[in-house]
Amino acid sequence: MRPPSRWCSSSSCWRSRGWRTGRRAARRARSMRRSRAAVVHGALVVVSAAMLVPFYWVLKTSLTGENIFQYPPALLPRAIHPFYYVDVWYGIPFVRYLTNSVIVSAIAVASNLVCNALAAYALTLRFRGQRAVILVLLSCMLIPFQATIIPAYLITKELHLLNSHLGLALPLCSTIVCIFVFKASFDAVPRSLIDAARIDGLPEWRIIRHVMLPLSTSAVATTVILSFVWSWNSFLWPLIVVRDPQRQTLPLGLSTFLSYMENTTGALYAFCIMVLVPGMMLFLLEQRRFIEGLTSGATKG
């Protein structure tokens, strides 16, 4: 005889109770994950806002003519005008400084792509002393550039590259960090592709050009961004190497600009914005590949 409809058998009751308990546990787990994610995102928003406040303040000050040191400070700009940018553009030979920085950065980026890719490909090959070479390169990363600036200057002088664009870019023609970025990306390329290219008769440089680099776009983007930013912001090396005003870059032009202007605070902020924009645009365009290039080889599988 079947039990009444309002009752259920013991096995079905236990299944329904277990199902309801599982649903409640799943809801609690989802709620905890959402709460944890909300806390993490809130903390990230606060940290991001704290990091963006100085940049916003520089941008606001460069676009307004109000008193920079007024108290309490105004959060929003009141009267926006480009006067400080006009002062920067016409107060100094800004175009000449910009052209020199672009040329030096282009040389540094191109040489980094070539030299670092070749060095990284060599480190992916098996040869006697490979580990020793890698350890030497890692050890060289611990040496600050200031410790090698005197021999670098003497080498540049012997090569007759003082007061030249190539001399400005010479210390940045290859960087160890970018070598290992390329190496991590090259190690992820299947060896079967390289062996197939060798069977087809491709020389090593064509393997790099047609096999390795097309599969390492993240490493290429990372190298481009890092080498561009380092050469674009370089100040100490151009200060030592350059004596000709016609070869000064933007960081050196800033000191010249400060000596010309009387009220320099607003114009200084405008100059900083004009120098920061190219690097920020390059990073925003390639940020996904940049992050992929830095994290390549961090996980396996």
- What average pLDDT does the segment 73-88 reach? 78
Per-residue pLDDT of 213-258, as tens digits, reads 888 888 898 899 899 999 998 888 999 999 888 889 998 888 777 7
State how far the Cα of 197 lies from the Cα of 174, in Å rounded to an integer. Answer: 27
Tokens of 152: 């670098």
Q: What pLDDT band is residue 261 in, cutting at 50, 70 and 90?
A: low
In angstroms, the first-to-last Cα distance of the chain is 59
Residue 12 pLDDT: 54
Angle ∠(17,18,19) on CA atoms, nearest 5: 90
CB-based contact 230:108 (threshold 8 Å):
yes
Residue 7 pLDDT: 47
Residue 300 pLDDT: 47
Q: Which residue has the higher pLDDT, 299 or 262?
A: 262
Residue 296 pLDDT: 62
Query: What does the chain come to in residues?
Result: 301
CA-to-CA separations, 211 to 72, 201, 215, 263, 268, in angstroms, rounded: 60, 13, 7, 55, 47
Q: Quick check: 301 pLDDT over 50? A: no
- Spell out the residues 6+ positions from residue 43 whose beta carbon is closer than 8 angstroms to its own: none
DSSP per position, 245-293: GGG--HHHHHHHHHHH-SS-HHHHHHHHHHHHHHHHHHHHHHHHHHHHH
Per-residue pLDDT of 102-159, as tens digits, reads 999 999 999 999 999 999 999 988 888 888 999 999 898 888 888 889 999 999 999 9
Q: Which residue has the higher pLDDT, 228 or 264?
A: 228
Q: Which residue has the higher pLDDT, 276 or 75?
A: 276
- Rg (Cα) of the chain, in Å, rounded? 29
Residue 1 pLDDT: 46
Q: Which residue has the tokens 């005197």?
A: 150
pTM of the model: 0.78
State how far the Cα of 31 lies from the Cα of 131, in Å rounded to an integer. Answer: 49
Q: Which residue has the higher pLDDT, 102 or 9?
A: 102
CATH top class, domain 92-295: mainly alpha
- What are the domain boundaries of the chain? 24-81, 92-295
Residue 104 pLDDT: 94
**What is the sign of the dihedral through the CA atoms of 155, 159, 163 and 167?**
negative
Residue 67 pLDDT: 64
Burial class (CB in 10 A: 0-12, 13-18, 19+), 142: exposed
- What average pLDDT does the segment 65-76 reach? 69
Helix or strand run (H / E) with residue 176 = helix 176-187
Residue 107 pLDDT: 94
- What average pLDDT does the segment 4-21 reach? 54
State how far the Cα of 46 lies from the Cα of 63, in Å rounded to an integer. Answer: 25
Mean pLDDT of the chain: 82
Residue 109 pLDDT: 93
